[in-house]
Structure 1
Amino acid sequence: MIKLLAIDIDGTLINFERPNISKKVINTVMAAKKLGVYVVLISGRNYYSMKRYLEDLGIEEYGITTNGGIVLDLKTGKAIIENEMKKEIALGIYNKLEEEEIPYSLFAGLNVYVSEEHRNQPTISLLAKEKDNVIVVDDMKKFILENKMNKFMFMDEDHTLDALRDYFEEKYGECVNVEYGFEKHMEIYPKCLDKGMALEGLAEQLEIPMENVMAIGDAENDISMLEVAGTGIAMGNAIKNVKDHADFVTKSVEEDGVAYAIEKFIIKKCCKEDGKAV
């Protein structure tokens, strides 16, 4: 039986056309929680960017942010697991993105940081709608030198991103993951912690075997958690590479695929085990 459910946000719970979680998904998640299932959101987003979704689903225990880079105790606001990008790698990435004039943001701790010249980029503007989320930095190089970095996110046309991916993988591939978060967005974060490893760490802390863990996602950065979870679910709108790593493909985000998967693998199975009619 599923005891821990990990759900991605963008492309899974919501998308740009539907920025709020549907009532059906909220109700189904609540039903799973009433059955004793721990529910955790696990996203490339930082804490302030996922905060309202945690509140919508009544999640008060844990949140996994920044592609698994930070496992947050929501009651204390403290990280119980956290990664950190090496300074020399962060500076190398910064220099290349500046040289290519690619819009980017930095994820550090609970916030997103951006330079003045990129603050009006559409994705940054979207992130800035969340209260206290995006902070403008005057001197990004100085900020990198003085603070702990968890992730870079940069945005551009696909052909440019593919070339940058090749460059960063060749130069830093032993130390970082370079993945599409979703279309026209690429993310770089340390290999020391991804969504899969973070989910395993949380499950261990909760003393839940991985065979009793279910994960739902749609993007490349979700593959690691789909692989380690006992039940890995890809969204109907997921890219083929993600579907190839899943145990089951649910409906799309527009069709409330999260709700469909929870009903199929948690609610109906629980009712059958209890001997109740489904």
Structure 2
Amino acid sequence: MDIKVAFFDVDGTIVDNHSKKNQSSDMELVPASAVEAIRLLKENGITPFIATGRSPFMIEELLKGLEIDSFICTNGQYAVMNGRVMYEAPYSQALLDEIVAVAKENHVPLLWMPTHHYVLSGENQEVLLEALDNMNLPYPIIETNLEKPDYKIYQMVAGVTKENEHIFEPIEEVRIVRWQPNGIDLLPKVGSKATAIEVILDKLGLKPENAVAFGDGLNDIEMLQTVGCGVAMGNAHEELKKHANYVAKPVYEDGIYNACKDLGLI
């Protein structure tokens, strides 16, 4: 393999927020072996990218700790390479209107995700607060009224159970991806981590076979399908493993390091 770039999901992939709880920082949740793997990748001329559903402000500590300056955030809606914005696709006002209308009618809380903060609004907020706490994520700004914001939104999360997620299905432009028992991502159908990866590969003059990607969730399916080598973590969703070229050990069993070693990347 002639790998030049490596894309890493965060939660459940390089951050072990499943077996470790109540840590004060994300870097405390990154296995030392994963830090070493990323260092060795860079030594071997392979550029690491973070590729996550989080907003940029939520990965600042990881970027600094791992010495990475290129990333894809909000599931592909916002991408930066070497500190420069390469791609962005905020939600249209029409799509925001539709989502807000459904949420209001069904008393569902929404999490707005611009680039530098995130806001929880609407009723029954405790549903999403519990999900965020389980993921060791920072506390959001709280707003009581569920109104359309006047800033760019790159991702939205709704607090609904599996049984009730159908309320958003009539919105044709939305793709629903579950990430917690009580939380779903409401993603534009035209965007994904894969869309941003394609833009980045084009900018770098690279082909899919020059890229490897590591993930664990349903929002990583397109990413693994887009690159030459897709790696699913051992702790990944079973559906994701079906789309992987290689299934690694779990993140908490040095999965990143061992996969990079087995694939000849380090």
Alignment of 1:250-261 (within 5 A): 250-261=248-259
Counterpart of 2:86?
A: 80
| Alpha carbons of structure 1 residues 95 and 182: separation in structure 2 relative to 1, 3 Å | same
Conserved? CA contact 2:19–2:252, under 8 Å? no
User: Normalization by structure 1: what TM-score?
Assistant: 0.83
Q: 1:114 aligns with which of 112, 116, 120?
A: 120
Counterpart of 1:128?
A: 138
Conserved? CA contact 1:179–1:186, under 8 Å? yes
Between 187-196 and 92-101, the greater mean CA deviation after superposition: 92-101
**Deviation by residue 1:126-174 (Cα, 9 ceiling, x = unmatched):** 4326xxxx3344644142xx22222211234xxx33431x3323x123x
Alignment of 1:34-53 (within 5 A): 34-53=43-62
Counterpart of 2:167?
A: 167
Tell me how far 1:192 sits from its aligned partner. 2.4
Tell me how far 1:248 sits from its aligned partner. 1.0
Taking the aligned partners of 1:218 and 1:57, their CA distance within structure 2 comes to 20
| Alpha carbons of structure 1 residues 220 and 121: separation in structure 2 relative to 1, 3 Å | same
| Alpha carbons of structure 1 residues 135 and 163: separation in structure 2 relative to 1, 3 Å | closer
1:31 correspondence with 2:44: no
Aligned-residue CA RMSD in angstroms? 2.2
Q: Which structure 1 segments of 5+ residues have no match? A: 269-278
Counterpart of 2:208?
A: 210
Identity of aligned residues (%): 26
Taking the aligned partners of 1:264 and 1:2, their CA distance within structure 2 comes to 14
Equivalent position amino acid for 1:42 in 2? A
Between 211-220 and 109-118, the greater mean CA deviation after superposition: 109-118
User: Normalization by structure 2: what TM-score?
Assistant: 0.86
Counterpart of 1:272?
A: none
Higher helix content, 1 or 2: 1
Q: Which structure 2 segments of 5+ residues have no match? A: 21-25
Counterpart of 2:78?
A: 70
| Alpha carbons of structure 1 residues 65 and 162: separation in structure 2 relative to 1, 3 Å | farther
Number of residue equivalences = 253
Q: Secondary structure at the match of 1:263?
A: helix
Between 80-89 and 47-56, the greater mean CA deviation after superposition: 80-89
| Alpha carbons of structure 1 residues 191 and 34: separation in structure 2 relative to 1, 3 Å | same
